Amino acid sequence: METDIDINITRVESSKLKDINLENIPFGKYFSDHMLEADYENGEWKNVEIKPYQPLVIEPSLAALHYGQSIFEGIKAYKDANGEGYIFRPYDNFKRFNISAARMCMPTIPEEIFMEGMKQLVALDKNWIPSKEDHTMYIRPLMFATDTLLGVRPSDTYKFLILLSPSGPYYTSPMKIYVEEKYSRSVKGGAGFSKNAGNYATSMIAAKEARAKGYDQVLWTDPFEHKWLQEVGMMNVMFIIDGVAVTPELSEGTILNGVTRNSAIVLLKEMGIEVQERRLSIDEIVEAYKKGQLNEVFGCGTAATIAPIKELGYGDYRMPFDVETFKIAAKLRKEMDDIRYARIPDTHNWMVKI
């Protein structure tokens, strides 16, 4: 592997950091001083550069705007008590980014541009990583089609960017989730496993209608019977049923293969908790709830980490939970945070030091 790629760096004249209080920031609203940019043309990636965060100049005919060839990733960087910076499992996001690219007929990105580019960018803007608990630097790689032509076909040219957004917590309180029976997020043969922009555009109406009913997000179900569970909003979902952790399996390609989901599975097994990845129906969940065996429900995702769910609504039936009793979710959350803020040894090699 070639790691000595040439990245041209142009620094800002003066940092914007002095105008921002990293202790009190919303999620994804502010961006650091620099960004990474690269272009794909004539079958190769070129012009890899780090430069001041700035607007892009685009043509109105930009293919990504019309036909949605656009993908992204979400990764987090942390600072430990000594001020050292780390990125959590970026290599897994790199692999998933290229899986998304292939599904959308987009070129893959070489490892050295994604990984080395990200490391250099994060190192340059290291002062932007918040040190307050629950505050992190969210890393947003993205790629989109840049041909300027209205014919529907895969673009020949693309742009790759990495943005850095110092961020506070995504969800500040436990969520109320509505079991979705009208809209569908994904279907076998579709693109549910990829992080492409269109998946989010088509899901917003369900979240909007759920909010009108007093919920925060939806629990997606399969498109045929609205019975088999997929994921919650933009997170994977996990249930603790009679002490066993159960999460929907990935084999149909309808569910995003979350890095947080995978980390949770590894850590739960190490804690001695049985984990089952399998088909899981809403009927089984309701039955377990009625029997008093549904101990905990939570979402897993990079933005929110482990997000406890305080109520599930299925039609008119409501399943409230006392999230204070969620012992496994709390233990998992603590274990993950201890690893990511480098308070305990990183026995899985998940942390990439910058």
Ligand X SMILES: *Cc1c(COP(=O)(O)O)cnc(C)c1O
**Which residues ranging from 117 to 156 are in contact with ligand X (CB under 6 A)?**
none
**Which residues ranging from 57 to 86 are in contact with ligand X (CB under 6 A)?**
74
* Interface stretch with ligand X, choices 101-109, 211-219, 231-239, 321-329 (CB under 6 A): 231-239
Q: Is 87 in the site for ligand X (CB under 6 A)?
A: no
The residue (of 70 and 260) whose beta carbon lies closer to ligand X is: 260
Q: Is 311 in the site for ligand X (CB under 6 A)?
A: no
For residue 237, the minimal CB distance to ligand X (Å) is 9
Q: Is 260 in the site for ligand X (CB under 6 A)?
A: yes
Structure tokens at 281: 């129906």
Q: Is 285 in the site for ligand X (CB under 6 A)?
A: no
Listed in sequence order, the residues at least 6 apart from 63 whose beta carbon sits closer than 8 Å to its beta carbon are 69, 145, 146, 147, 148, 149, 155
Q: CA dist 41 to 38, 131, 226, 306, Å?
A: 10, 39, 43, 40
Classify the phi-psi angles of 28: left when phi > 0, otherwise alpha if psi is within -120 to 50, otherwise beta: left
For residue 323, the minimal CB distance to ligand X (Å) is 20
Looking at the DSSP assignment, which residues form a beta bridge with residue 243?
Answer: none
State which of residues 50, 210, 234, 342 lies at the interface with ligand X (CB under 6 A): 234
For residue 226, the minimal CB distance to ligand X (Å) is 18
Q: Is 258 in the site for ligand X (CB under 6 A)?
A: yes
Please state, as a whole number, how many other Cβ atoms lie within 10 Å of the Cβ of residue 248: 24
The residue (of 85 and 248) whose beta carbon lies closer to ligand X is: 248
Q: CA dist 263 to 88, 105, 281, Å?
A: 10, 29, 23
For residue 158, the minimal CB distance to ligand X (Å) is 20
**Which residues ranging from 8 to 67 are in contact with ligand X (CB under 6 A)?**
none
Contact 231, 255 (CB under 8 A): yes
State which of residues 236, 247, 254, 295 lies at the interface with ligand X (CB under 6 A): 236
Helix (H, G, I), strand (E, B) or coil at 90: helix
Residues 273, 335: Cα–Cα separation, whole Å:
14
For residue 302, the minimal CB distance to ligand X (Å) is 3
What's the chain's length in residues?
Answer: 354
Which alpha helices (DSSP H) does the chain contain, by range?
A: 63-67, 90-103, 111, 117-124, 197-212, 259-270, 282-290, 327-340
For residue 9, the minimal CB distance to ligand X (Å) is 28
Q: Is 195 in the site for ligand X (CB under 6 A)?
A: yes
Q: Is 247 in the site for ligand X (CB under 6 A)?
A: no
Residues that bind ligand X (CB under 6 A): 74, 195, 231, 234-236, 256, 258-261, 300-302
